[in-house]
Amino acid sequence: MEGHAFYDEPGKDIVCAGVSAVTVGTVNAVEALTGLELEADMDHGLLHVKVPSLDSAERNEKVQLLLESMAVMLDSIQQSYGAYIAITTTSDK
């Protein structure tokens, strides 16, 4: 996640708030439900998350499901507010 949506003024921007809630909530859910400690850094509208190597297929499935869920939620926001959000997926593989 990077930047700000500029849908409204800071503090009233529902697009920014929605995206932040989805992304931060997903990071928290991955950590709480898998026991993993993610490398997450958030600064000035930029969120960078690194998932450590996974030691089991079950844990991998949980992480993938949660991340795919996040993508679906962000896609839903983009469908309604496409002028204010762009989604780009990258991988360090």
Whether the Cβ atoms of residue 77 and residue 15 lie closer than 8 Å to each other: yes
Is 4 part of the annotated catalytic residue set?
A: yes
Q: Using CA atoms, how far apart are residues 16 and 14, in angstroms rounded to an integer?
A: 5
| CA–CA distance, 23 with 29 (Å, rounded to integer) | 10
Of the listed 1, 5, 16, 66, which one is catalytic?
16
Distance (Å, whole) CA 76 – CA 48: 21
Q: 16 catalytic, yes or no?
A: yes
> Which position among 4, 13, 60, 71 bears the catalytic label?
4
Q: Which residues are catalytic?
A: 4, 16
